[in-house]
Chain A
Amino acid sequence: MKLMLPCKEVTRLVSQGLDRRLGFGERVALRVHFAICEGCGNFERQMKLLREAVRQLGETGAQST
């Protein structure tokens, strides 16, 4: 695997990383990319926030109507 991935490929890997265990090479490539690309770092944090929020959808409904 190439060390410097295009951002588009990074978004695919970040998404798949939420659904399957990534290989060692994939994880390293992502880390290298995040170190120099702010946009993709933001993308990854957005994905984590999205996951947290979707899990809470029913729960907070418990307080509001």
Chain B
Amino acid sequence: MPAPSDFRARLEGERPYLLRYATLQLRDADRAEDCVQETLLAGLAGEAGYDGRSSLRTWLTGILKHKIVDAIRRSSREPAMALEPEGDPSEFDALFDPRGHWTDAPTAWERPDSALERTQFLAALEACLERLPARTARAFMMREHMGLETEEICKELGVSATNCWVMLYRARMALRLCLERTWK
């Protein structure tokens, strides 16, 4: 086991990565900063719990995930939240003709199979995620990254199941369009 100060320095070294990860999901620099701070403190306090089997980053990311879910829960209890899904309902109309058929049909994406392709695909995906409206992005990440059930997300965000599905639908449609341009 390394000296305590050494461990602290290694934790500190993960701060930029954790901050990027939290910002992607919370879309709020201050709250992301708070979550990362809490995570690093928890990491420091829980040093004994770190068995070295996973990388330090993976271990810290696991702690951070819980902090992010907590932060989303806290903020959704604040009354200022808009309850309607963000964005324009006709936003994707141009993709379809009046009979509802594709005007520009989706293409077959090449599967990112090599490690390099996977890294590139994930980088493209991250850039596309950053362009989503904040609340839509949070709902999408809770569903697809954290793996929470829709029911729980609706409750946390204070929206109906239908609005929740609409938000997730818009997120997927927007990400697809964005990736269609950046990944082929």
Binding site for B on A (CB under 8 A): 6-9, 11-12, 15-16, 18-20, 38-40, 42-43, 45-47, 49-51, 53-62, 64-65
Q: Which residues of A contact B65 (CB under 8 A)?
A: 58
Known: A8-B100, A57-B122. A46 touches B58 (CB 8 A): no
Q: Which residues of B contact A60 (CB under 8 A)?
A: 118-119, 122
Q: Which residues of B contact A19 (CB under 8 A)?
A: 143, 150, 164-165, 168
Q: Is the CB of A55 within 8 A of B145?
A: yes
The binding surface of chain A is classed by DSSP as helix
Q: Is the CB of A54 within 8 A of B125?
A: yes
The total of chain B residues at the interface (CB under 8 A) is: 45
Known: A46-B109, A46-B176. A58 touches B145 (CB 8 A): yes
Query: B176 is contacted by which of A8, A50, A55 (Cβ under 8 Å)?
Result: A50
Chain A residue, CB-CB nearest to B172: A15
Q: Is the CB of B150 within 8 A of A45?
A: no
Q: Report the minimal beta-carbon distance from A36 to chain B, rounded to whole angstroms.
A: 12
The binding surface of chain B is classed by DSSP as helix
Q: Report the minimal beta-carbon distance from B73 to chain A, rounded to whole angstroms.
A: 19
Q: Is the CB of B105 within 8 A of A15?
A: no
Known: A12-B169, A16-B165, A16-B169. A55 touches B61 (CB 8 A): no
Cβ-based interface call for B121 (8 A): yes
Q: Is the CB of A6 within 8 A of B145?
A: no
Please name 18 pairs of A and B residues whose Cβ atoms are closer than 8 Å in the assembled complex, sorted by A. A7-B100, A8-B95, A9-B100, A15-B169, A19-B150, A38-B105, A39-B102, A42-B108, A43-B176, A47-B176, A49-B112, A53-B121, A57-B24, A57-B126, A58-B61, A60-B119, A62-B55, A65-B16
